[in-house]
Amino acid sequence: MIVGVHPIAGFDKLLHYKVPARLEDAVAVGSLVRIPIGRRFTLGIVGVVGAPSDFPIDRLKNLTDLVYDFPALPADLLELAKWMAVYYAAPLDGIIETMLPGAVRRAAGLKQEKLIALGTALDDEALAKLEKRAPQQAKLYRFITQQFKPVAKNLVLKRLGVGAGSANALIKQGALREMSQQVKRVAYADDFSEGELVAALPHLLNAEQQAAFDALKVEIAKDEFGVTLLQGVTGSGKTEVYLRAIHEALADGGGVVFLVPEVALTPQTVARLRSRLESIAPDHACVVWHSHLSEGERVDGWHELATGQARIVVGARSAIFAPVQNLRLIVVDEEHEPAYKQDETPRYHGRDVAVMRAKLNGAHCLLGSATPSLESYANAQAGRYKHLHMKQRIDDRELPFIDVVDMRIEIMRSRGLTTLSQKLVHGMQDRFEKKEQTILFLNRRGYSSSMMCRSCGHVEECPHCSISMTYHRTDESLRCHMCGHERGAPVRCPKCEAPDIRWRGTGTQRVEEAVTRVLPRARIERMDTDTMSKKNRFRQVLSEFRAGKIDVLVGTQMIAKGLDFPNVTLVGLVDADMSMHMPDFRATERTFQLLVQVAGRSGRGDRAGVVIVQTFTPQADAIQFSRHADFDGFAEGELKIRKDFQYPPYRHLIHHSFRGPNPEKLLFFAEQWARLVEKEFPDQLEVRGPAPSPIEKVKDHYRFQVWYFTHGVSRVIGKLNQKRREFAWPDDVIQVMDVDPVNL
Ligand code: ADP
Ligand code: ZN
């Protein structure tokens, strides 16, 4: 038997091997195999069984080994990988590498583990006695009665703080059973130690939830590819609808992928979801997939899915590649979330890949959000996706009040630049006295690259691209990062003539200092990418905040979503303008999303929340529409602008960046290339640039970028890739292509 193998990492082509007789029965398309290449050994995925008829079979080597006796990359994932390789212009070997976690490739972590489960149940009397005589044993026993399946003995003991003696006594008595098994997943082994082990009970659906669920049931029953956009305001109970839909797919014998943004994967959500999902499908473990898993845990979960023992996975972006069998439903929560886009090769978008995977499987894809991406929204408007709405919050709770503070007036009042408005300061002091908490948000990036007039709020935009011009201090110029349009930086505001146009914004550190000045006795914590480089630190701060040990949390968007803090009754958005004037055509959309999400999160407990937004442009759409969480109103206006400038969703964008030590040389080749592309694609691509990147120079490497606009990526990407391979790039020019970029 001959097979064609895609090597993982290193070789981007199909290589042929003979299969030794002992493995012939087991090797199939998707098998993970060990292969010799030259003098080395590497891993590969079997892509085809059989060889072209005129193939020189005699010279073939044998493949060495089979890692798992089932296909490690199921057929649908292999097909998905091939599609991604073309669409995202990324090498196939790297994509397969992304799909198969390192631990899986190393076949790490399958181990023998002692499990315990309920034996002969104790009657009430016996339990009462046990309660008195041996409270430790009773505690363990009660815990085990609440589990849906055998659990890992050592872990549970450690977790409950119960000694081995107690367990053994119960086992001897027959109340518990002990078994030894090669486990593929160790129950409760993850580091979510603070997650409560409570069973979350289903809610009775309200009318809107029921209507949405009924519509979804019909879609899922069709057993064919389709996409639904569930647009439901924050707090409308979308999760409950997802869970019902998942139940439906599982009851039908199908498998499910449930994607949530990484930040939303808190111990609390995981514990709640897992408990609910495992009660829905008691015979099937729910695998949780996130970046904090140990190697063993990852292999365990992966193994359970690949062998069909588990049928459901919950996880962040990369969980879209989990080997779920018989896929019937994919749920993408917070589908607008930029975190679904991977910022390194392969630069895929988890949501778009989810839609494609559903398509390859004839499955249904459910996208949910309070503020859908305009891409998904447009697809729904055009009838390509089914569009469902949920407009009421559970219990008709009101959305928190959004209080817009005009910073232009604030500056006049304080006769100078202030970081925190009076209103925000008073609000924080008030909360501090009442022992309630405050969150202050700032823009993701701690600098402002645009120039904004502090008197009238004017920002210079590129006349061709409708994005903010970026200020370059080196030559006192304003430049557009889309098309390269350039002009001298004005000294006075072009609109109102005021002299103070060179405002550069505020960083988290400045805000922290300002808060310390007005609340000297408060405990303040700062949370941004600088202070949070360690993963555990992030969790630690959040858990301290939740426990009320911090009064004011200052942070970037990274703390905005998926978080529930009932004691937070004030949220301040310190610099709404900065996020509105990023040199990014999605800046307004992002700001709107941020405001609505933030408002939806504050005051979730009994107390009502207040959101204070500081801005120099209170009249901006993103701010005005967010005050009533009016997504449709916002989308209507924003889509008009997108249409005028033919931005996504009206066309696709491809970003091509060029990096190298020599700026003249770099620009020369980028120019040559851009003009070549223009010539090769006279009708299908619009080329803009080269222009300098927003960050012109990183570690002595200069950066330029070229943008392509197209109506169909698949129509142009193959040829574009080929031209790119053929082009004579100098060695010191690195170029990277990003299809449908999100974080510009
Ligand atoms: P969304 O994701 O739409 O913002 P959630 O799914 O987080 O909203 O639900 C908001 C809250 O309402 C949660 O605490 C959830 O447990 C609760 N909830 C959801 N559905 C119901 C229901 N039918 N009855 C009562 N409470 C519900
Ligand atoms: Zn421009």
Q: What is the 3-state secondary structure (H, E, C) of 370-432?
A: CCCCHHHHHHHHCCCCEEEEECCCHHHCCCCEEEEEEHHHHHHHHCCCCCCCHHHHHHHHHHH
Backbone CA torsion sign across 741, 734, 668, 485: positive
Q: Please name the residue whose Cα sits nearest to atom 22 of ligand 1.
A: 203
Are 262 and 293 in contact by the 8 Å Cβ rule? The answer is: no
- Report the SS3 class of residue 740: coil
Alpha carbon distance 605, 567 (integer Å)? 7
> For a pLDDT cut of 70, what percent of the chain falls above it?
89
Cα–ligand 2 centroid distance for 677 (angstroms): 19
Alpha carbon distance 155, 186 (integer Å)? 8
User: Which carries the bigger pLDDT value, residue 5 or residue 276?
Assistant: 5
Which ligand 1 atom is at minimum distance from the Cα of 233? 3
pLDDT reported for residue 36: 92
pLDDT reported for residue 380: 97
pLDDT tier, 187 (very low <50, low <70, confident <90, very high otherwise): very low
> For a pLDDT cut of 90, what percent of the chain falls above it?
47
Q: Is the pLDDT of residue 485 over 80?
A: yes
Cα–ligand 2 centroid distance for 462 (angstroms): 5
Residue list, ligand 1 pocket, CB within 6 Å? 203-206, 209, 232, 234-240, 394
pLDDT digits (tens, 9 = 90+) for 463-482: 888 788 877 777 788 888 87
pLDDT digits (tens, 9 = 90+) for 492-512: 888 888 876 765 556 677 788
Alpha carbon distance 343, 693 (integer Å)? 16
Alpha carbon distance 371, 385 (integer Å)? 16
* Burial class (CB within 10 angstroms; exposed 0-12, middle 13-18, buried 19+) of 728: exposed
pLDDT digits (tens, 9 = 90+) for 400-450: 778 999 988 887 887 666 789 999 999 999 999 999 999 888 765 544 566
Q: Out of 198, 203, 388, 561, give the residue to mutate to test ligand 1, the one with the largest number of ligand atoms within 8 Å of its CB.
A: 203
Q: Is the pLDDT of residue 582 over 80?
A: no
Which amino acid is present at 668? F
pLDDT reported for residue 189: 41
Q: Out of 238, 239, 604, give the residue to mutate to test ligand 1, the one with the largest number of ligand atoms within 8 Å of its CB.
A: 239
Cα–ligand 2 centroid distance for 451 (angstroms): 16
pLDDT reported for residue 191: 38
User: Which carries the bigger pLDDT value, residue 106 or residue 257?
Assistant: 257
Listed residues: CB within 5 A of ion ligand 2? 462, 464-465, 480, 482-483, 485
**pTM assigned to the model:** 0.83
Query: Is 483 assigned a ligand-binding role in the annotation?
Result: yes
Cβ count near 329 (within 10 Å): 28
Query: Is 365 assigned a ligand-binding role in the annotation?
Result: no
Q: What is the mean pLDDT of the chain?
A: 85
